[in-house]
Amino acid sequence: MDRVALRGLKARGHHGVFQQEREEGQTFVVDLVLGLDTRSAAATDDLARTVHYGVVAEEVVGVVEGEPVDLIETLAERIAQQCLEHEAVREVEVVVHKPEAPITVPFDDVTITITRSRV
């Protein structure tokens, strides 16, 4: 399976279990690896035979900016399901970064990584 990766998609969301997170929001960063077969697209040089990663990026930002959820696990699942709506995408790895998580000790980042595929 071939891979198309998008790294560092940034969007402001209002996700989290604390009221302050819901009210003020924070920046989330998303990395994606889309698994698909690109041979047909490469042979024909036809965008319709692959995934339009610009559209995927916009959709992922829309999910992050959309309906708030408590857990980044839920956010990652919603992003994965959106990516799998594209016919060419057979598998997706989603990493959601929450670098502004409300943690009381010094830290660099909090992430969740999930992999989902068509059944």
Q: Running DSSP on this structure, what letter comes out for residue 100?
A: T
Query: Which residue in the list 15, 86, 97, 98 is annotated as catalytic?
Result: 98
pLDDT per residue as tens digits for the range 62-116: 999 999 999 999 999 999 999 999 999 999 999 999 999 999 999 999 999 999 9
Q: Give residue 9's pLDDT band: very low, low, confident or very high (50, 70, 90).
A: very high
Residues 6 or more apart whose Cβ sits within 8 Å of residue 72: 15, 28, 96, 98, 110, 112
Alpha-carbon dihedral angle through residues 61, 66, 68, 73, given to the nearest 10 degrees: -40
Confidence (pLDDT) at 57: 98
What is the residue-averaged pLDDT of the chain? 97
10 in catalytic set: no
List domains and CATH numbers for the chain: 2-117 (3.30.1130.10)
Confidence (pLDDT) at 119: 73
Q: With contact defined as beta carbons under 8 Å apart, do 45 and 82 qualify?
A: no
Instruction: Summarize the confidence of residues 4-29 as an average pLDDT.
Output: 97
